[in-house]
Amino acid sequence: MRRIITVASGKGGVGKTTFAINFALALSRIAPTVLVDLDTGTSSIRNTLDVSIQRDLYHFFRRNTPLDQCLTTLDAHLDPEGLFENFALVAAPRHSIEEIATMGPDARRRLMEAINRLPATFTVLDLRAGLDATVIDFLPLSNSGILVFTPRHPAATLAAGDIVRSLLFRKLRIVFSETSPLFRGTEGHLQHRLVNDLLDQVEDVYQEGLPNLDAFLEDLHASLGDTEWVTAIEDVVHSFGVYFVLNMFNGVEESWENAIRPFGTHLKNTISDSLTMTNLGWIVEDPKVHDANCRRRPILLEASGEGSRLGDRTRDPVLMELDRLEADVLGLPSPRDLTAPPRSAPRDEIALLGRDDPLSGQLEVLRRMYRSRGTAQVRENFAYITRRAHHLLRDLPQGTFGQPRLVPPEEIQEHVFGRKPGYR
Ligand SMILES: Nc1ncnc2c1ncn2[C@@H]1O[C@H](COP(=O)(O)OP(=O)(O)OP(=O)(O)O)[C@@H](O)[C@H]1O
Ligand SMILES: [Mg+2]
């Protein structure tokens, strides 16, 4: 099971890098994990992690060093007991280099192929803020990856919604481009024009005619009937899953009012009623998190006060937290061995929401999580999110959450239609 999980936010400064580092560290306790710094202009991960870096993306791009030889592992002073020996990092260049910071299409394709070949079970991508191609190209096709936003910055919540929108529109533009196998025969050219005119109208938020993709799909139905490919496009939109983490959590009401409700409403109004939204959990605001970053020793690498010896799982603080969560929160028996065959997580923990409305049930989920997790500290927050993410990665069909491989733009059509008979 290889999975690539993106961490994105739309707006900057909400805690993507903090989350990505600690999430990758926690995942590495389950299976080999590589964290890739795709914020290639600011090299923020290397500034948050006190490791000596021999090779980074500079060597990959300029010296043609294979990506798997650009891996950095933790120094002994950060991980004296080797608890995180399954963690590795691909750092961005030490200083910004224009061509690497802005990555043109060829550079992106080359890096995508290399990431797809990395020797890791989990690959976590820390993306930069913004919505340009260096962000969108790396996002999964059928879900949002992990979006981070915070009740502290309401504007960032809307930017997170815009990521979902940009991602879906970019995908639909490619699916509906002139070379699409959908547009065949004499009618093909006209159909292509019709669909793209409608997409222009939905994308243009200043026009009121077609507010969201649901209206677009209705119009398509009205114009073209119930054809096989209208159904295919409905599948693209309706099966799209949105996953998010709330950083700097400060209570149920404020998180609901400032973050989750505006986010879900934005998705409903500008995209569709039928997206599934999944809350993976939250991280409380804690000065220890920031101090740890400043000391370049991420919070999960801080000694937790409990003794831990190499190889002694019962005393490994991170694994103990993970194990306890399995038992307490997810209602699962504590795993004797993490390599044991997968069990199914309770249904309501996997698909927390109905499919009718992205917002339905969200407040209840938040309250329920708060009842069981309200007093949890930062480290437990990370453990909880990691455990939930791991269950989703393991139990859901591939492509529902995260992605088995990055798909370059020229392969998207084949990816969407390749499996459907008649479109080859
Ligand atoms: N839970 C938290 N509690 C306290 N401080 C936090 C928390 N999460 C992040 N921070 C602090 O907030 C600031 C922004 O975090 P971070 O750099 O991870 O965000 P980002 O989204 O990656 O930013 P950018 O868009 O610039 O890449 C940092 O100073 C970090 O130490
Ligand atoms: Mg960052």
- pLDDT value at position 100? 87
Fold of 3-168+242-395: Rossmann fold (3.40.50)
Whether 358 shows a pLDDT value over 80: the answer reads: no
Mean pLDDT, all residues of the chain: 83
Of all atoms in ligand 1, which is nearest to the CA of residue 249? 1
Provide the pLDDT confidence category of residue 354 given band limits of 50, 70 and 90. Answer: very low
Q: How far is the CA of 228 from the centre of ligand 2 (A)?
A: 42
> Cβ neighbours of residue 254 under 8 Å, at least 6 residues apart?
151
> To test the ligand 1 pocket, which listed residue (290, 291, 377, 378) has its Cβ within 8 A of the most ligand atoms?
290
CA dist list (Å): 42 to 12, 106, 130, 153: 12, 21, 13, 21
Question: Ligand 2 mean position to 191 CA, how many Å?
Answer: 42
Question: What whole-number distance in Å separates Cα of residue 39 and Cα of residue 101?
Answer: 8
CA distance 196 to 199: 5
Secondary structure (DSSP) of 47-84: HHS----S--HHHHHHS---GGGSEE---TTTSTT-TT
Measured over the CA atoms of residue 79, residue 84, residue 90 and residue 96, the dihedral's sign is negative
Neighbouring residues of 106: CB distance < 8 A, sequence distance ≥ 6: none
The span from the CA of 38 to the CA of 57, in Å, is 9
Shortest-distance atom of ligand 1 to CA 293:
31
Residue 317 neighbours by CB under 8 Å, 6+ apart:
304, 306, 308, 379
Cβ contact 95:43 at 8 Å: yes
Question: Which residue, judged by its Cα, is nearest atom 9 of ligand 1?
Answer: 15
Q: Which residues pair with 123 in a beta bridge?
A: 4, 34
Distance CA 258, CA 90 (A): 34
Counting beta carbons within 10 angstroms of the beta carbon of residue 188, is it exposed (0 to 12), middle (13 to 18) or buried (19 or more)? middle
Residue nearest to atom 23 of ligand 1 (CA): 13
Residue 14 has pLDDT above 90, yes or no: yes
List the domain boundaries for the chain: 3-168+242-395, 181-237+409-417
| Centre of ligand 2 from the C-alpha of residue 210, in Å | 35
Per-residue pLDDT tens digits for 286-304:
999 999 999 999 999 986 5
What confidence score (pLDDT) does residue 317 get?
A: 56
Q: Is the pLDDT at 420 greater than 60, yes or no?
A: no
320 token code pair = 């103990």
Report the share of the chain in percent with pLDDT over 70. Answer: 84
Q: What is the per-residue pLDDT across 146-205, written as a single tens digit (0 to 9) for each?
A: 999 999 998 889 999 999 999 998 888 888 888 888 777 788 888 888 888 888 888 887
Ligand 1 atom 25: residue of nearest CA: 12
Pocket probe for ligand 1: among 293, 379, 385, the residue whose CB has the most ligand atoms within 8 Å is: 293
Instruction: Look up residue 126 and give its amino acid.
Output: D
Does residue 343 or residue 228 have the better pLDDT? Answer: 228
pLDDT per residue as tens digits for the range 304-321: 544 333 334 444 555 555
